[in-house]
Amino acid sequence: MGIGELFIVALGLSADAFAVSLCKGLSMRKLDFKTAGLISFSFGIFQAGMPIIGYLLASRFSGYVESFDHWIAFALLALLGIKMLVDALKGGDDRNPRSCPSGIRAGELFLLSLATSIDALAVGITFAVLSVRISLAASVIGITTLVLSFCGIMIGHRFGIRFKKFAEIGGGLILILIGIKVLFDHMIFC
């Protein structure tokens, strides 16, 4: 998997963090760069760490699944993408600022960071199956998430969260397309 594909995966994975960041930006009456940086950093660290955890777990078992690893990668990415699409399409009222809690506490930040990065754990498993360089992948995912989360807070503060649904739909479609590409590449080259 090349850097371009990793960046596309990173964009898909960061969609949840971007959407939550839009929400947090909307709830800020005054733009607080310290809080924006803290949220972005936390989201980036979790998004970088979870694929590493998934990779390490899956690396121990990759020898047993080599004959059907492409199906595992496809299924995980497709399911994650479909989940993101369903969540985006059935989402709540994005125009209601009360649906976005204001302020940030340590416990809330931890839970938001964890919740927005669970998908990255499954992608880490996929990376192990595909023998992707995890250090590069985690770095690309973490940095992309950090930057997009910070931008999400700025955009949310400035324009509201009218883009939340589009970000989630785009992220879901990206993950599904990467899953299809993995399956297609295996069928063509094996």
Sorted by sequence, the CB contacts under 8 Å of residue 190 that are 6+ apart come out as 70
Residue 50 near residue 189, CB atoms below 8 Å = no
Q: Where are the alpha helices (DSSP H) in 60-102?
A: 62-65, 69-90
Total number of domains in the chain: 1
Query: Taking the CB of residue 45, how many other CB atoms lie within 10 A of it?
Result: 15
* Cβ neighbour number for residue 120 with a 10 Å cutoff: 30
Which pLDDT score, from 0 to 100, does residue 145 have?
Answer: 96
Give me the pLDDT at residue 148, please.
96
From the list 39, 53, 18, 1, the residue with the least C-alpha distance to 144 is 18
The predicted pLDDT at position 62 comes to 60
pLDDT score, position 79: 77
Tally of residues, the chain = 190
Average pLDDT per block of 10 residues along the chain, 190 residues long: 87 86 76 89 95 87 64 74 78 48 71 82 85 93 96 82 67 75 71
pTM to 2 decimals? 0.69
Instruction: State the residue range of the domain holding 59.
Output: 3-189
